Every structure is written in structure tokens, then in C-alpha cells.
Amino acid sequence: MTLLEVNGLNTYYGDGHVLFDVALRVERNEVLALLGRNGAGKSTTLKSLMGVVAPRDGSILFDGAEIAGAKSHVIARAGMQLVPGDRRIFGSLSIEENLVLAGLTAQNRWPLQRIYEIFPRLKERRGSRGTDLSGGEQQMLAIARALIRDPKLILLDEPFEGLAPVIVRDLVKACRDLADAGQTIVLVEQNLAAALTLAQRAYIINNGHIAHEGPTGEIAARPEILQRYLGV
């Protein structure tokens, strides 16, 4: 069953046309990857879905309701959460304070214990301030802040970027456990191996256009596609 359906999405930064008639769909309980080179339009697509950047035109149907042009807080209340690449945690607050604050306005807030079961490291350091966390811990907290709001859909913008391989491994496992539990995820990620491991399907975006779509197994088995659009 389709949770998100996007058609004819065009987004601009000033006079610069960045996304061109982007169309994609996300099925309920699916992990979808959005792949492409740097500057291809991946992050802009997530920001357009979340209302951080207002698309010029197009349709975004989320759980049956049109949200194109809506404000970010309205889209968040409808059940979509963006975990941005810069994480945006509150550095002066502790892990637990960040989580409690994120859940204050949630209709169905997760208990903290459920978060800590997914990210045991956050429980160990729950009294530590955001500024005292490692990059991996900050990323865990950023994802946890989205989860505590019981989202229908999480948008992850390059969650593994700049992290040590052992941390990436732990985060991939956490995301896989979430997916196995039925969480719907859209993943933007430069780490191709991690993205293809987690996602069932992928869209490849090139210069603001959707260039290819298919099962991740098929994409991984076609080196000419990887070379043409991803340079690998």
C-alpha cells in the first residue's frame, strides 16, 4: 500500500531550477534509497517533501492527504520526520532532555525505554550534553528524536556520512531492526554498500531528474548503471 506518492515536483533555489518533474512513490513498511552524485538533488528532494524548501509545483500525497506547500510543522504532525545531515541536536541539552523535548508535542510518544532498547549507547550516556557526544552518538540521537514521535515515515539524509566503520555497522543494524519492525524509511546515502543493503528499492537522481528506478538487487548487479550515474 502506497504511503507517499510524488508527481511533477519542481523545486527552485531562487531562479535556479533544482528538481525537474520528480516522481516517486514509497510503499508502507518499505525502505527506499535515493541515490546520486553530490549535488544531484537528493537532499533537496527530502527538504521539498518535508516542507523545508517549498516546491514551486507538483503533488505530494502523504497517507492520502496532499501536503505540497504545507509548513514543516504541519507535515511533521501528519507523521513525517526528517533527520537532516547536520543533525540539529541541542548541544546544551542532555541526550534525555533532547528526547523529552522532541516528544512533547507528539500524539503517540514512544517511551524512552523503547528508544534505549534500539540505541543502548544513548541510555549509557543519557545525561551527557549534545556537545559532548561523538559524531556517531549525535547521529543516534538525531534518529532517536525522530523515532520518539512515532513517525509513519522517516527521511534520513546521509546518516552514515563521516562515521567510523564500526559506528556505521551499528547504525545499519539499528535501521535494519527498525525496518524489520515495519518502519518506513527513505534513505539518502553516499555509502552505496549500506544503502543497497538496507533498501528494497532505489531511485537514482541525476541533475535533478529521476534517471532510474528499480530493486536494489537489480541496480547492484548492473555496473553500467552504477558507473553512469554514481561513478562507481
pLDDT reported for residue 86: 84
Same domain, 53 and 28: yes
Same domain, 114 and 13: no
Same domain, 75 and 90: no
Residue 10: phi and psi, rounded to 5, are: -125, 125
Same domain, 61 and 163: yes
pLDDT reported for residue 202: 96
d(CA 40, CA 18): 8
Q: Which of 102, 121, 148 is the last residue of a domain?
A: 148
Instruction: Provide the residue range defining the domain that includes 167.
Output: 2-79+152-230
Same domain, 59 and 98: no
Q: Which of 114, 148, 182 is the last residue of a domain?
A: 148
First to last CA, the chain: 33
Number of domains in the chain: 2
Same domain, 34 and 20: yes
* 3-state SS string for 167-184: HHHHHHHHHHHHHHCCCE
- DSSP, collapsed to helix, strand or coil, labels residue 216 as helix
Strands 184-188 and 209-215: unpaired
Same domain, 8 and 71: yes
To which H or E segment does residue 34 belong?
A: strand 31-35
Same domain, 64 and 98: no
Question: Over the stretch 121-143, which tens digit does the pLDDT of each residue have?
Answer: 999 999 999 999 999 999 999 99
Proportion of the chain above pLDDT 90, given as a percent: 76
Average pLDDT over residues 104-110: 90
- Check pLDDT > 90 for residue 161: no
67 pLDDT tier (thresholds 50, 70, 90): very high
- Check pLDDT > 70 for residue 89: yes
| 216 exposure class (CB count in 10 Å sphere: 0-12, 13-18, 19+) | buried
Same domain, 126 and 220: no
- Check pLDDT > 60 for residue 206: yes
Same domain, 18 and 99: no
Same domain, 56 and 108: no
CA 133 to chain centre: 21
pLDDT reported for residue 232: 54
Same domain, 156 and 205: yes
183 pLDDT tier (thresholds 50, 70, 90): very high
Q: Helices 135-147 & 95-103, crossing angle to 10 degrees? A: 20
The region of weakest confidence among 23-32, 71-80, 189-198 is 189-198
Q: Which of 93, 120, 148 is the last residue of a domain?
A: 148
Q: What is the CATH number of the domain that holds 174?
A: 3.40.50.300
